[in-house]
């Protein structure tokens, strides 16, 4: 974000406001040094059960955060609310990421490793991600990635999902659209994608929704996809390439 932060290094009381970055903190081995997470930080499961919840990614409980006395808060430009972050910055060191590509994600992992005195661990994770993506096969086809129903919403340009589709070799039919455009059934019909990916999050698409596309896009191949492996930009990226290959 272009901000400078000062903190007592290394931080001992960390609050994470982003699910994928929470999982990264766990895989960096930070354990008890993470004192607060959001209610959406569902992985690792034992952290969701035992760590103090500070609210949602966009609706935070400031009293709970104050009680935790954090010496570092980690957030993300897209995931978190600007006003909440600006309020927290008045009291605490707040480190923000802004991620729309694999390169951004690996930079974030490296930066968080340095910030938390886990440089070696972050390098191991990044090396595993680089190795995994080096073996990803390139696929052909035009794809529509949907994240919401009523109204239909898809992943457009300048999103991390878009960058993952590019890594697969697929052409995102929404590449010339805004980041998360609303779409009519007629627009989907005119786009006529080879593949339609129905994400598990934020809207939990299921096979029962396939019937809605029989008349809208009868020639498109429908697939339910794991949204975490397309949109979580932390250590989960290690597993994404193998999943992408199996998907197609």
d(CA 12, CA 27): 16
- Go through the chain and tell me how many residues it has: 248
What's the pLDDT score for residue 2? 85
- Chain-centre distance of CA 62, in angstroms? 24
Q: Are 188 and 212 in contact (CB under 8 A)?
A: no
Residue 56 pLDDT more than 80? Answer: yes
Query: Cα–Cα distance between 63 and 56 in angstroms, integer?
Result: 14
Cα–Cα distance between 231 and 216 in angstroms, integer? 26
Alpha-carbon distance values, 1 to 4, 76, 137 (Å): 9, 9, 34
Q: Tokens 């909440």 sit at which residue?
A: 84
Q: What is the 8-class DSSP label of residue 41? A: -
- The half-sphere exposure of 246 on its side-chain side, counting CA atoms within 13 A, is 9
Chain centroid to CA 154? 15
Q: Are strands 14-16 and 72-76 parallel, antiparallel or unpaired?
A: parallel
Domains of the chain: 14-131 (3.40.50.1980), 142-247 (3.40.50.1980)
pLDDT tens, residue by residue, 205-227: 999 999 999 889 999 999 999 99
Both tokens assigned to 80: 């978190």
For the segment 104-134, what is each residue's pLDDT rounded down to a tens digit? 999 999 999 999 999 999 999 999 999 999 9
Q: What pTM does this model have?
A: 0.94
């Amino acid at each position: 974000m272009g901000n400078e932060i000062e903190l007592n290094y290394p931080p001992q009381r960390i609050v994470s406001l982003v699910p994928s970055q929470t999982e990264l903190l766990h895989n960096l081995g930070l354990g008890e040094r993470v004192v607060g997470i959001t209610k959406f930080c569902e992985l690792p499961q034992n952290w969701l059960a035992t760590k103090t919840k500070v609210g949602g990614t966009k609706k935070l409980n400031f009293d709970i955060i104050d009680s935790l006395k954090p010496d570092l808060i980690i957030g993300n430009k897209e995931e978190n609310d600007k006003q909440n972050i600006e309020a927290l910055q008045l009291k605490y060191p707040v480190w923000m990421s802004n991620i729309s590509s694999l390169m951004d994600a690996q930079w974030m992992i490296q930066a968080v490793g340095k910030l938390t005195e886990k440089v070696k661990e972050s390098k191991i994770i990044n090396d595993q991600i680089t190795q995994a993506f080096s073996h990803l096969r390139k696929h052909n086809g035009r794809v529509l990635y949907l994240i919401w129903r009523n109204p239909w919403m898809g992943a457009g340009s300048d999103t991390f999902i878009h960058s993952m589709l590019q890594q697969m070799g697929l052409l995102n039919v929404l590449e010339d659209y805004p980041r998360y455009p609303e779409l009519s059934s007629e627009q989907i019909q005119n786009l006529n994608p080879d593949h339609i990916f129905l994400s598990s999050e934020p809207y939990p698409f299921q096979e029962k929704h396939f019937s809605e596309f029989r008349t809208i896009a009868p020639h498109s191949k429908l697939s339910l996809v794991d949204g975490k492996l397309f949109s979580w930009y932390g250590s989960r990226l290690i597993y994404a390439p193998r999943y992408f290959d199996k998907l197609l």
